[in-house]
Structures are given as structure tokens and as C-alpha cells.
Amino acid sequence: MAQDRRPAGRSERRAAGERKPREERWAQLLEVATQMFYEKGYDGASLQDIADRLGMLKGSLYYYIQSKEDLLFEVISEVHREGFAVVSSASQGPGDPLDRLERTIRAHVEHACRNLVPTAVFLHELESLPTARREEILGSGHAYQGVFRDLVAEAQRDGLARPDVDPRVAGLSILGSTNWVYRWFRADGPSTPEEIGVQLAAMAVHGVATAEVLAARGAVVGA
């Protein structure tokens, strides 16, 4: 994952008299652009809108980017990179594949609930990018989705998941259902991100585990 993430069009030079360090201003630009794409959509938000919100001239944006598409690419890339780091970390460590699947789902749900605006922009606006740029973000084999797929496949190899389950379909189903929390989760709602994560993880595991494993896990929970 280590790679140079300088945005397209950014100068290597520090502008004389620049009020804020370049990286601080870039982070602010990404934050404001994310919010504007959320409020107006990619098509509705203009670079002028973003410059106005930042309190800078539109022309100054070209110090950091070459086009609005470049800016969307950087926003989407950042959301994907942060989310992938969360699920990749959660999928590793102790426990059998189903334990790690549960942990990964909980982490993904909690991250989405606490980052509703970036999550919404990612899910709404990814298709606004050209195919090649989408694939550059998602990676070969859709690495984010692959975390869930690979855990299901590993559980199958260990005899913990039913052999009739297609790991790819299971991964898509898990990611699709958990992504949807951004549409209905409310910070002042009846359930916390942790509670929602636990429930969605339990339902996902119940959908792929063998009957014997479910019985054993139920006995452990009820012990």
C-alpha cells in the first residue's frame, strides 16, 4: 500500500508567503471537497463552490489539482484507503476465520457509522470516475471486498463454513449489507455503532457457518 499519494498537479515548490503548510491546506481541501460532494453531489458541486468554502481563489486550487475529476479521485482514494486499513487490520490477529470475520464486520460497520459523510460520497460518487480510475482505487480483485471473501474461503477450508457457500457471493453480500448502514444510521438513534456491528456480524456468520459450528458457538455464548 505504500505509494506516493501526492495529488495530480501539485507543485513541488512551496509558494512564497503561503499562509498554511501545504499538507495542512491539502487536508483541508479534501475535507471541504468531501462535504461539498456530499451536499451537492459531484455534478452539482463546482470548484468555485469549494474555493468559496475554503475562502480562497478558484485559481489557487490548481496549485493542488488539475481538474474537479482529480479532486474526486483523491477524495475517493482517501476514503477507500482509510477504510481498507481498518478492515485489513481487523482481519488479522488471533481467532479462527469466523472470529476474525465477525471482528472485521464490526470494525467496518463502526467505521462507516462514524464516517457517514465520506462513506456516502464514496458509495454515491465512485461511479462518476472513469473505469480506469475506479480500478486504480479499488485495486486488483477489489481488495476491500476481498478481505471478506478471503475470510469466508478460509473458514471453508477449516471446515467452519458450509461448502455450498460461494465466498465471492458471501463477500459481496456482507459488504453490501454493511455498507447500507450509512443510509439509516443516526447518531441519536436507538442503537450504537458497536451494537449494530455486533448484530450484523452475528447475522453474517450465521449465514455462512456450518450447523455444527453454530451449535458449538451457541453453547459457548450460553455457557
Neighbours of 152 (CB within 10 A): 28
Per residue in 42-60, pLDDT (tens digit) is: 999 999 999 999 999 999 9
- Is the domain covering 75-222 a CATH 3.90.550.10 domain? no
The answer to whether residue 12 scores a pLDDT higher than 90 is: no
Which ranges of the chain does DSSP label H, i.e. alpha helix? 22-44, 47-54, 68-91, 97-114, 116-125, 131-138, 143-157, 167-179, 181-184, 193-208, 211-222
Spatial CA neighbour of 54 closest among 18, 30, 79, 72: 30
Rounded Cα distance between 196 and 11, Å, is 44
In the chain, CATH 1.10.357.10 sits at: 75-222
What does the pLDDT average to over 23-27?
90
Please give the CATH number for the structural domain made up of 22-65.
1.10.10.60
Q: Provide the pLDDT for residue 4.
A: 43
The answer to whether residue 219 scores a pLDDT higher than 90 is: no
- Who's near 173: CB < 8 A, 6+ residues apart? 204, 207
Per residue in 159-211, pLDDT (tens digit) is: 999 999 999 999 999 999 999 999 999 999 999 999 999 999 999 999 999 99
In the chain, CATH 1.10.10.60 sits at: 22-65
> Among 4-13, 73-82, 96-105, which is the least confidently predicted range?
4-13
Q: Across the chain, what does the average pLDDT equal?
A: 89
What does the pLDDT average to over 128-134?
95
